[in-house]
Amino acid sequence: MLTPVTLATVGTLDTVPALSRPDLLGAPVAAFLADWPDAPAVGVAAIDPAFSDTAVFTQTYGVLPEVSGNCVVIAGRREGQERVAACVVLATTRADVNGTVKRLLDVRKCSFMGMDDAVARTGMEYGGITPVGLPAGWRVLVDARVAQVAAVVVGSGVRGSKLVLPGAVLAAMPGVEVVDGLANPVPQE
């Protein structure tokens, strides 16, 4: 049985079981959680949508960047075939798009998917895109550091809330590939 660490408070976030508040979840997220056996380990917390972006979110809600996960969508092409991956990294790091991600996608060049395309294809709001409930067939690459966090905060599919779940549970989600070196530390200023 999983320990629902998500029901504790992370920073000033007050989490409740995610399935108890489907109104705080993007439609694909709610659909995925409804069928996922580990869903009881996932919490959700309402936030002000104006404070959804990482820097202002961590500052406003007292969530350490070391437990705040970012999900970015990367796309590239090879032989006319598009290759897409969602990459989950901590806010203290940046996805190694031109190194590790490019190599894993086996493409010569890749880049962040455009906002409108990412929103349309995920069914999630920009600033709320999460690895939970992504389209079938997309690769989900999770930096190994994320898997080690006791409780990681990620998007919920909408800007007005965040999911909180154990990093190990996220790493065990169907289709997830845990990757050492997916991200590099952000240089300190």
Q: What is the CATH number of the domain that holds 115?
A: 3.90.960.10
Q: Is residue 186 part of a domain?
A: no
In sequence order, the β-bridge partners of residue 142 are 88, 178
pLDDT of 96: 95
Residue 151 lies in a domain: yes
Spatial contact of 33 and 131, defined as CB atoms under 8 Å apart = no
pTM across the whole model: 0.92
Query: If you search the block for the tokens 């999630």, which residue do you land on?
Result: 124
In a domain, residue 21? The reply is: yes
Phi, psi of 42 (to 5 degrees): -105, 130
Establish if 26 belongs to a structural domain.
Answer: yes
Binned at pLDDT 50, 70 and 90, residue 4 comes out as very low
How many domains is the chain built from?
1
- Output the six-digit token pair for 80: 């006319």
Query: Taking all residues of the chain, what is their mean pLDDT, rounded to a whole number?
Result: 93
22: in domain:
yes
| Whole-number pLDDT of residue 125 | 96
Q: Do 82 and 75 touch, CB atoms closer than 8 A?
A: yes
Is residue 185 included in any domain, yes or no?
Answer: no
**Structural domain for 164, as ranges:** 5-175
The answer, yes or no, to whether residue 68 has pLDDT greater than 70, is: yes
